[in-house]
Amino acid sequence: MKGLNSGCNQVSFLIVFFLSRARVRAHYREFALFAFTTFTKSLVIV
């Protein structure tokens, strides 16, 4: 349970971090590319 909780905290932190980064238009493409590759990797892992 403890590991799951820390994992959720890590995910929510990453979401907040990337959302705040995405506000900067200069980083928007980089964010989109990173989100896409991360999503693809998670599908491959599953």
CA distances from 30 to 25, 36, 41 (A): 10, 10, 16
Per-residue pLDDT tens digits for 3-13: 666 666 788 78
For residues 32 and 24, the answer to whether their CB atoms sit within 8 Å is: no
Domain that holds residue 29: 2-45
Q: Count up the domains in the chain and report the number.
A: 1
| pTM tops 0.75, yes or no | no
pLDDT of residue 4: 61
